[in-house]
Structure 1
């Protein structure tokens, strides 16, 4: 009897040891952020393999729904109250927000004004932070890869008074006929405006929306 109990206890130790070793291993993966706002599962990151991560230290990072991220993380437990058995509690040590990489803007002139498509988007917010113009927007799709660019449209008239720099979002949906509503945040480097302009620089920003919708705002870019 004592041998049987000893054998069962040994198996239990081996099982627990395996689980603990799995939880201690640092991992790296890519995924998409979802902000749910619920008590137990306020922020999830869905990995490419379908697993759901529940970062316990998510407030350390500035994230919005739809952000595509690459993270280093460690599994510290499980949570089965968030819609599936693969909800894993994690501590995140490093996060790279692929959605917030900051490409340069593209210059458009009379000669190449129509070189980029202008499919509609819905802009919810546009603002400047440091040397970046950050745009939170949405569009319909889900079946093809979409291309989002920031362009500077150079005017036809160079005589004073010269209007402020004019920026637009150019969206190429690649003929995506799907209707899922995709929300993402994009960031663009506008530091080239420092060439030939004195701080602060007033800029015009616009985007073509759905139907008759049209987004426009004026922003102020300050730099040292």
Structure 2
């Protein structure tokens, strides 16, 4: 199996292991960790900044930098080898694998958007379990039923249903399961570029995030503040046995 999946979605269960922190030293040497992060390319190599804000310098790696792109969103599986003492990075690590996270812009429904296009985006049930910001990305953790076919996931802004009564921009996670039977509960993360929401002269905008559940009712229904200038990383770590799915 390739260490880096280049086609923009998670292809299979990532069978890696996440170990809990050691209360004494903050981490355990030799243990495997997995979290979300962003690739940073240097002139001749790369490092990864996790969503918790840690810079990981790969003293050893199973992944070649030639397969990477600057700014790529990834699941990173790594082993901590030690602290970096000069302040340039946070940890020396071994990169065991990188898996590209599905990354997309907002899909805009306008007056010109046909019903055929809207149907292709889908109205199938999907459950949002968490959201967080990294720079200009809204990251969405979600669950859905399937297991046999490719599913389509998009974050939609509809000009005909643009804002809540309080002025928050409505963003709806849309799902097309392509008639895939509900064989297994699938789990995934997608990163959506929401920089188009920036308004000149403002430093933030409120967004209202929602999705349709199995009963056809909206769930999650949370107002989030997207800040343009203040980028506050949020720590995210995952149980890797839950990471699965086939989405694009």
* TM-score normalised according to structure 2 size: 0.53
Gaps of 5+ in 1: 1-26, 40-55, 64-71, 75-89
CA separation of 1:153 and 1:139: change in aligned 2, threshold 3 A: same
The 8 Å contact of residues 154 and 165 in structure 1, kept in 2 or not, is answered as no
| Superimposed CA distance per residue, residues 30-88 of structure 1 (whole angstroms, 9 cap, x where no aligned partner) | 5642576689xxxxxxxxxxxxxxxx4533x415xxxxxxxx529xxxxxxxxxxxxxx
What is the SS of the residue equivalent to 1:102?
strand
How many residues of Structure 1 are paired with residues of Structure 2 in the alignment? 158
Query: Which of 1 and 2 has higher RCO (CA within 8 Å, sep 6+)?
Result: 2
* CA distance in 1: counterparts of 2:108 and 2:114, whole angstroms: 9
User: How far did 1:103 drift?
Assistant: 1.3
| Residue 144 of structure 1, CA deviation | 0.2
- Give the secondary structure class of the aligned counterpart of 1:155: helix
Deviation, structure 1 residue 146: 0.5
More helix by share: 1
Alignment of 1:171 with 2:145, yes or no, is no
Give 1 or 2 for the bigger CA radius of gyration: 1
Distance 1:214 1:157 in 2: 16
1-structure distance, mates of 2:15, 2:3: 18
Aligned pair partner of 2:193 in 189, 194, 198 = 189
- How far apart, in 1, do the equivalents of 2:184 and 2:133 lie? 28
Unaligned runs of 5+ in 2: 6-11, 21-29, 37-60, 64-78, 80-92, 230-248
Which position in structure 1 is the counterpart of 2:103?
102
1:73 aligns with 62
> Does 2:155 match 1:150?
yes
Aligned residue for 1:148, secondary structure, equals strand
Shift of 1:141: 0.3
Residue 96 of structure 1: CA displacement? Answer: 3.2
* Superposed CA RMSD: 3.6
1:132-177 CA deviation, whole Å, 9 max, x = no partner? 111111111001011101111113689xx89332111111101101
Q: Which residue of 2 aligns with 1:112?
A: 113
Verify the 8 A CA contact 1:110 1:156 in the aligned structure 2.
Answer: no
**CA distance in 1: counterparts of 2:199 and 2:96, whole angstroms:** 34
Shift of 1:93: 2.4
SS across alignment from 1:192 = helix
The equivalent of 1:198 in structure 2 is 202
Q: Distance in 2 between matches of 1:175 and 1:200?
A: 39
Q: Give the counterpart of 2:14 among 8, 33, 47.
A: 33
